[in-house]
Chain A
Amino acid sequence: MTRITPPTVTMSTGSRTLEIDTGELLFPGLVLAFCLFYYWDTRALPELSMLYAGPLLYTTIALAVVTVAVQAVSVGGGDDPRGGGDGGVESAAAAFDPDSDPEADEEAVFTVRSAAVLIVLTAGYIVALEPIGFLAATVAFLAATLYLFGERNPLALAGYSLGFAIGVWLVFVQWLMIPL
């Protein structure tokens, strides 16, 4: 399994069907949640503070609702609700599809699962930075990630993790005086 696709929920009332692509709900949903918080947080502010932010907030909410209606919901069924297909060229990832054959003989380290683990590791790294310190957290993160993506040589693991962490530490903490 290399790709997780959020389900499409189909509802039918009588002869009509209503399809909702739940994946397409993700971003508009996030935006709406943020707007709700924003509204709650700013409701007591003076008018002048919200002269611009107020109308912008309502515009954003309206656009989120429109996006849900246009992108996620389709009535009648049949058509692919995701318009445009894979036409995006925003990221090399979106447009560049490696041949599928060689992927099979690689030992399948590059998967949704490893991406998810990487995200968790990164989050853990960020949380750990303050309590356990930059060097220790960085060495641990580097080693864990290298291992995750298939590095098994113990010397390479430890050497690279330690070397890179110290290098970054020298540049940023010693030279640039970033109080990490």
Chain B
Amino acid sequence: MLGLLFPAAIDGALGILSSPYVLFAILLGTAVGIVFGAIPGFSATMTIILFTPVTIPFEPTVALIFLVSAYGGAVYGGSIPAILINTPGAPGSIVTCWDGYELTKQGRAIYALAVSAIVSGLAGLIAATFLLVFAPPISDFALNFGNPEMFLLAVFALTIIPAAKGSSLSKALLAGAFGLLIGTIGNDPQLAQPRATFGQTALLEGVDFVVVLIGLFVLAEVFWLAYRGTVVTGDNTVQRGASEVYDAARAVVSRPVGFVRGALIGTFIGSLPGAGADVANFVSYNEAKRWANDELADRFGSGIIEGVIAADSSNNATQGSALIPTLTLGIPGSGATAALLGAIALHGLNPGPGLFDASGDIVYAMILSLFVGNVLILIYGLAGSQYFGKLAYIPIRYIIPSVAVLAVVGGFAVRNAPVDLYIVLLFGLLGVLFVVYDYPLVSLVLGVILGDIAESGFVTGWLLTGESATAFLFNSSIAVGLLALIALSLVVTAVKN
């Protein structure tokens, strides 16, 4: 049936997926993702970023499928320390702590972990289905985008972040504009004259956004860990045995509404630029509470399984849907998808509206690998969460220096340029500043990522439309639609502020 819907590329994708290397990449990637996600302080974003340089020698298909699998695994893995030691492995699992850790205190850690694995895997499957169904028509539509439309799309992506995140309008726009400006460092696209390169040859090419990501999402996080630490309140007695897993399966099956609601909320929120697992699990938890009767609503936070279901069904569902704008438009909605986009570019594919057209088989293989990956999350999670759980107890004092070293090495490995190490450090410090003063990190990253698209869209569009503002802005009905969306998101945010 799939073959009828999407004839050409799917065949190629299935061919890719049937390669033993690729299957191994999914198996290994999912496991690696869960392992690193389970380490406190390691988010899905960090896992993808730090493994990207390691994938350089591999074929793009193997490398990208490995990273996509690791992404899914890490989102699930983040819930393990949340449940066991009340420390979310990533921001997307903060809410998982609230009921999950209470269950651990009652001795029911295995039960909570099993529920988490089941809902994560199933919600991931639901979101992957959405991705498979919606991405192709959106990417077809995106092929109609000309140069002015690409510029407006970049502007829209930056203006919708504060609307989706509820952050300050001026801060989000400043961060985004600064990111765009960072994106113009290097030779200009028309005449190849150097702009703000500080005399560094490596910067003629511009600031590589993977390097920026490493600074903002890895090194800054390490600096934060050094200040914040984690609270490991060790040994709780744990009930073991198959009955806990059986109970878990029953708990999910008897609460289909809660699970599907969480998955749909996650899918929807994940598809918005700027909002990912971190927002989805809060919204899903609040909705679960709102839908519950008074008696049940009061017990949220006291260790009820509804809380775990609400949190973990939503955070894993964001993965599939966050890939929709990332793969179809080249606009990543979150740190993790930005990191994946970096990997896509690093492996010689051209992210953006043409991606499905040019590399359809690889893209479909990535999408289809999500189905395998999420089944694996279920299997790994049910069979091995108590073993993965041991990782949650790795002392943070070992994590801090190790990740710092990996950030530095990874920053260098991107393009072998010593100046990139200083850029990593600089953005590490900037990341801390952003968190302290509540600037959206995603705006800055997205600005840097979209810099090239925005600039060539603007310059090429401007020159080809005869250098007239009206011809540029009203180039097509798509452009007018984008203008309206930009205005709408600005107004919404201004009113919210």
Contacts and interface: CB of A to CB of B under 8 A. Distances in A.
> Do A and B share a direct contact in the complex (Cβ within 8 angstroms)?
yes
B325 to A, nearest CB: 19
A87 interface: yes
Interface of A: 2, 23-24, 26-28, 30-31, 34-35, 37-38, 41-42, 45-46, 48-53, 56-57, 59-60, 63-64, 66-67, 70-71, 82-84, 86-96, 98-99, 102-103, 106, 109-112, 114-115, 118-119, 122-123, 125-126, 129-130, 138, 141-142, 145-146, 149-151, 160, 164-165, 168, 171-172, 175-176, 178-180
Given A41-B196, A118-B404, A171-B54, A88 B435 contact: yes
Contacts of A103: 229, 231
Given A31-B174, A92-B90, A168-B405, A176 B53 contact: yes
Contacts of B86: 98
B231 A27 contact: no
A33 to B, nearest CB: 11
Contacts of B223: 115, 118-119
Contacts of B173: 63
A19 to B, nearest CB: 16
Most buried by B among A86, A119, A151: A119
A122 to B, nearest CB: 6
Interface stretch (B26-34, B178-186, B474-482): B178-186
A88 B398 contact: no
Contacts of A90: 91, 278, 434-435, 438, 440-442
**9 closest Cβ pairs, A-B complex:** A110-B229, A149-B397, A145-B401, A115-B227, A49-B188, A115-B226, A60-B177, A93-B224, A63-B174
Contacts of A176: 53-54, 56-57, 413
Given A89-B279, A90-B440, A125 B408 contact: yes
A122 B424 CA distance: 11
Which applies to chain A's interface (DSSP): helix, strand, loop or mixed?
helix
15 contacts: A45-B195, A60-B180, A71-B171, A84-B167, A88-B440, A102-B233, A110-B396, A115-B224, A125-B405, A129-B421, A130-B418, A146-B401, A172-B53, A176-B413, A179-B416
Given A52-B455, A67-B171, A96-B94, A178 B413 contact: yes
Nearest to B233: A102
Interface of B: 43, 53-54, 56-57, 86-88, 90-91, 94, 97, 166-168, 170-171, 173-175, 177-178, 180-181, 184, 188, 190-191, 193, 195-197, 219-231, 233, 278-279, 282, 396-398, 400-402, 404-406, 408-409, 412-413, 416, 418, 421-422, 424-425, 428-430, 433-442, 454-455, 458-459, 462, 497
Most buried by A among B57, B178, B225, B433: B178
Given A53-B455, A83-B497, 8 more contacts: A48-B188, A53-B188, A56-B180, A88-B435, A98-B86, A122-B428, A142-B402, A178-B53
B193 A168 contact: no
B75 to A, nearest CB: 13
Given A52-B184, A91-B221, A23 B437 contact: yes
A26 B433 contact: yes
A27 B430 CA distance: 8
Contacts of B231: 98-99, 102-103, 106
Contact of A141 (B87, B94, B228, B405): B405
B413 A122 contact: no
Nearest to A4: B436
Contacts of A130: 418
B405 A138 contact: yes
Contacts of A96: 87-88, 91, 94, 97
B438 A87 contact: yes
A58 B230 CA distance: 43
Contacts of B413: 172, 176, 178
Most buried by B among A56, A102, A142: A56
Contacts of B191: 46, 48-49
A51 B151 CA distance: 14
B455 A98 contact: no
A88 B438 contact: yes
Nearest to A39: B196
Contacts of B56: 176
A19 B425 CA distance: 32
Contacts of B195: 38, 41-42, 45, 49-50, 53
A71 B406 contact: no
Given A46-B191, A88-B167, A168-B406, A93 B401 contact: no
A23 B435 CA distance: 12
A65 to B, nearest CB: 10
Most buried by A among B168, B177, B405: B405
A112 B223 CA distance: 9
Contacts of A112: 227
A67 B178 CA distance: 12
